[in-house]
Amino acid sequence: MFGPGIVFDMTHKQDGEEIGVADLTNALSKIGVQLSPGTIAMIRTGRDRFQGQPDYWKLGTGVSAAATEWLIDHGVRVMGIDQWGWDLPFHHQIRRSKSEGRNDLFWAGHLVGRRKPYWHIEQLRGLDALPAQGFDVGIFPLRLKGASAAPARVVGFLYD
C-alpha cells in the first residue's frame, strides 16, 4: 500500500471520548486539505508515548463508526492510529454499552469493514514527526496466510 498521507491531529481528545465526523472535518479545515481517493489517513492522538506501559490498552480515544465510514466515503481505504486500537478502549465500550443499554457499540469502527472494505493500522508511533500533509505513506505488511491481521512496517516518505 502506498499513497499520499494526511495527519489528523486528535491530541485534544480525552480518554474515552470518541472521534467523530465533525472532529475530522474540523481538522481538515484547519490544514486546508481535501481528501481524495487513495489518501492514507493517520490519526494522531499522542497516545503512542504510553506504549510499553501496563495500562497502555486502557488509554485513548477511538474512531467512531460514522467517522470511519465518512473516511471511506471520501476515498480513504487505508487509515492508521497511534494508540492501542482503532475503537474506544474496551472498558469505555463496556461503560457506554451499560449506560446506554446497547450491545451494538462493541468494535463499531472495526465492524464498518463488514459493509465497506478498508484497512486500519493500530499502535503507530512517531506521527508527531510528520507534517499534516505533503508526504507519502508506504505500508509493508507481513504476509500471513488465513490471518485477519498482521504486523506491518509503516513508513512516511518526506520530500525536500
- Specify the pLDDT at position 69: 97
Q: What is the pTM of this model?
A: 0.92
Cell 499522542, residue?
46
> What does the block give as the cell for 104?
451494538
Residue 89, pLDDT score: 86
Are 64 and 109 spatial neighbours (Cβ–Cβ below 8 Å)?
yes
Q: How many domains does the chain have?
A: 1
What would the grid cell of residue 126 be? Answer: 512517531
Specify the pLDDT at position 111.
85
CATH number at residue 150: 3.50.30.50
Note down the domain range covering 56.
Answer: 2-158
pLDDT (tens digit, 0 to 9) for every residue of the chain, 160 residues total? Answer: 999 999 999 999 999 999 999 999 999 999 999 899 999 999 999 999 999 999 999 999 999 999 999 999 999 999 999 999 999 888 787 788 889 888 887 888 888 999 999 999 999 999 999 999 999 999 999 989 998 888 999 999 999 8
HEC letters along the chain? CEEEEEEEECCCCCCCCEECHHHHHHHHHHHCCCCCCCCEEEEECCHHHHCCCCCHHHCCCEECHHHHHHHHHCCCCEEEECCCCCCCCHHHHHHHHHHHCCCCCCCHHHHHHHCCCCEEECCCCCHHHCCCCCEEEEEEECCCCCCCCCCEEEEEEECC
Four-residue CA torsion sign, 62, 64, 70, 72: positive
pLDDT of residue 98: 87
Residue 27: per-residue pLDDT: 97
List the one residue out of 130, 139, 107, 112 whose CA is nearest residue 40: 139
